[in-house]
Structure 1
Amino acid sequence: MSALDVDRLTTVIEDFNTIFIRLPSVRRLNFSALSVLHTLDRNGPLRLTALLATEQLKQPALTSLVAKLEQDGLLQRDPDPTDGRASLLSLTADGRQLVHSRHANRVAELTALVDRLTPAERAVLAGSIDVLHRLTELAEDPR
């Protein structure tokens, strides 16, 4: 078995991400806005401080972005039941619809690309799903 070329893997992932994030979508938003929406969709209501830990933005920029997304009707603030001074941010129905529509659109676009692979290439890709998921889990582990 050959050694894993992590440098090449990194380049391939970067190139794939560049293509993937640019797949046609139902609504164009900047990467930071999409990241916040996807984080709230996956993790449920969060405080702004919890979002700061996941997003690569400084507090003033994130506060401004959250205000814009709230103004656009994509997220809402509700009182934190454990601390009346704090708010929890969550997606509105429109925000959830946007995230789910983008996901469905990407599934369709990626399916069209995957269909162009050979059966052997599709099998390799299928075998990679669990490994990529595991890498994501490891990256989220604070160790």
Structure 2
Amino acid sequence: MSDLDVDRLTTVIEDFNTLFIRLPSVQRFNFSTLSVLHTLNRNGPLRLTALLATEQLKQPALTSLVAKLEQDGLVRREPDPTDGRASLLSLTDAGQEIVRSRHAHRVTKLAALVDRLTPDERAVLAGSIDVLHRITEIAEENA
């Protein structure tokens, strides 16, 4: 791993994440709300306990946030078919629309930035997509 400066890579990813998180200018939500919406979009329906494992919140805070999202019509609770005592959380159509519109807006904004790269820089970036995806897969396998 001597050919890879992991410290610099970490800093660059942190800086990119800061930029990327702020790309959408439509419908502003706090980080915890967005994280829950995106997690349910990609992995839902989930029990609250499974959602708790992915979010960096304590159970009372997550319970309160989910209740607010439910009240706002973004998340719904349904009985878990495998355990009548438990509930599954999923996005409503309105919740899915928020995630979809934020993604579409990010695509537009990021495309405008990528268009300013040289052809060689775009080629390097294109080659990085699969590597970043693989890092994500490895992290999920180890979670």
The amino acid of 1:129's aligned partner reads I
- Show CA shifts across 1:24-82 (max 9, x none): 33210111111111111111200000001111111001001101111111000001111
Give the number of equivalent residue pairs. 143
Identity of aligned residues (%): 82
- Which stretch of structure 1 is more off in the superposition, 72-81 or 19-28? 19-28
RMSD over equivalenced CA pairs, Å? 1.3
The alignment partner of 2:89 has SS state of: strand
State the partner residue of 2:34: 34
- Counting only pairs closer than 5 Å after superposition, residues 1-143 of structure 1 correspond to structure 2 as 3-142=3-142
Distance (Å, rounded) in 1 between the aligned partners of 2:139 and 2:57? 18
- Using the TM superposition, name which of 56-65 and 18-27 deviates more: 18-27
Structure 1 residue runs of 4 or more that deviate by more than 3 Å after TM superposition:
none
Give, in whole Å, the separation in 2 of the partners of 1:14 and 1:39: 20
Q: Which runs of 5+ in 2 are unaligned?
A: none
Q: 2:142, 2:118 → 1: CA distance?
A: 38
Q: Aligned with 1:37: secondary structure? A: helix
The alignment's TM-score, normalised by the length of structure 1, stands at: 0.97
Distance 1:95 1:9 in 2: 33
C-alpha deviation, 1:83, in angstroms: 0.9
- Separation in structure 2 between the aligned mates of residue 21 and residue 45 of structure 1, nearest angstrom: 24
3-state DSSP of counterpart to 1:141:
helix
CA distance in 2 between partners of 1:31 and 1:138 (Å): 24
Q: Cα deviations across residues 86-135 of structure 1 (Å, max 9, x unaligned)?
A: 10000000000110000000000000000010100000000000000000
Work out the CA distance in 2 between the residues paired with 1:100 and 1:133: 20
SS in 2 for 1:78: strand
Q: TM-score, normalised by structure 2?
A: 0.97
